[in-house]
Amino acid sequence: MVAPALVFPPTTDVRIIAFLVAIGYQLSAVSSSVELLKPPRNSKLSQVIGDSASSDDKKANGQQLTASSPEKGYRLRTVVLDAGHGGKDIGCQGDNVHEADVSLAIIKDLGRQIEENMPGVRIIYTRKTNVFVELAERAAIANRNHADLFISVHCNAGPRGSHGTEVWTMGLHKSNANLGVAQRENSVILQEKNYQQHYDGFDPRSPQSHILFSLFQSAYITNSLRFAQRIDRQFRTSVGRSSRGIKQAGFLVLWKSTMPSVLVEAGFLTDRNEENYLDDKAGQHAIAHGIYQAFRQYKHDLEGTPAE
């Protein structure tokens, strides 16, 4: 079910609490979805992911989602690949490269791998050139094409010493650091015309706005987290990258999409070593291949078909 449009109330504590109570059924849905993360009593817990994650993030990362029983005849047919930023919005930047360019290179490499190895999957790009695409339009592209999965790739920025990959899904932020990443990625809407109308009064500078709309998309949380776990495992193992874990926060581009969705932060352009890695075609290909392998596993899990 598509969540109703949000109309954000004035940001006084009393009205926020009243608004949250009014949509309490959404909180119940989220809580039910989180219960699905608990493994069977006799199953083995996976390795805790990301030493630098918060304690709440570690709890979520430390439990491995098992595949649900595949729906008979289900096929994952359409995936939307979203290169973050572009055009007038260059994203974050290192000494030599911009986020918009790196994310596009990774997405195009990922698309080639899917096209060459999985011809039955239709690939839709939100952009294939250096153009500006509004966040709402990115999600709308996925919705119009009835996509089964939405993958958005970005690069990160942070203070000295920050490094590693992150995989994000829609959900409540569990720390100020998580909120900060969402606010940075969502701030691009300030470059859009009439953004308050397009995003139902959402203010990317307001923590309250992020809390309220991050309650939505609960119907897709489980599969989003399932896919995120597979990406993170590939980054830590076959790709050999440092991982900061799987995290949740309110991203506009994920909120607007009506299917399982993830946002990948491929590394920090503000770290010299990671910038060099992400500016190199071999590094871009390795990141793309890790996402591809996770996609292949996720598709197999859902369809119950032999691994390719």
What's the burial of 263, exposed, middle or buried (CB within 10 Å: 0-12/13-18/19+)? buried
Instruction: Write down the pTM of the prediction.
Output: 0.70
267: confidence class by pLDDT, cuts 50, 70, 90: very high
The answer to the question of residue 130 being in a domain is yes
Task: Say whether 270 sits in a helix, a strand or coil.
Answer: coil
Q: Report how far residue 96's alpha carbon sits from residue 276's, in angstroms, rounded to the nearest whole number.
A: 9
Cα radius of gyration (the chain): 18
The answer to the question of residue 20 being in a domain is no
What domain range includes position 234? 74-303
The answer to the question of residue 273 being in a domain is yes
- CA–chain centroid gap for 218, Å, is 14
The answer to the question of residue 82 being in a domain is yes
Q: Report how far residue 150's alpha carbon sits from residue 216's, in angstroms, rounded to the nearest whole number.
A: 16
CB neighbourhood size of 39 (10 A): 14
Instruction: Say if residue 278's pLDDT is above 80.
Output: yes
| Structural domain total, the chain | 1
Distances (CA, A) of 212 to 96, 102, 242: 37, 31, 32
The answer to the question of residue 46 being in a domain is no
The residue with tokens 């078909």 is: 305
pLDDT tens profile 292-303: 999 999 999 999
Instruction: Say if residue 305's pLDDT is above 60.
Output: yes
CATH code for the domain in which residue 82 is found: 3.40.630.40
Overall average pLDDT of the 69-91 stretch: 88
The answer to the question of residue 157 being in a domain is yes
Q: Which of 261, 263, 173, 264 is nearest to 223 (CA)?
A: 261
The answer to the question of residue 26 being in a domain is no
pLDDT tens profile 220-247: 888 999 999 999 999 999 999 999 999 9
Overall average pLDDT of the 19-26 stretch: 39
Q: Which residue has the higher pLDDT, 174 or 228?
A: 228
The answer to the question of residue 265 being in a domain is yes
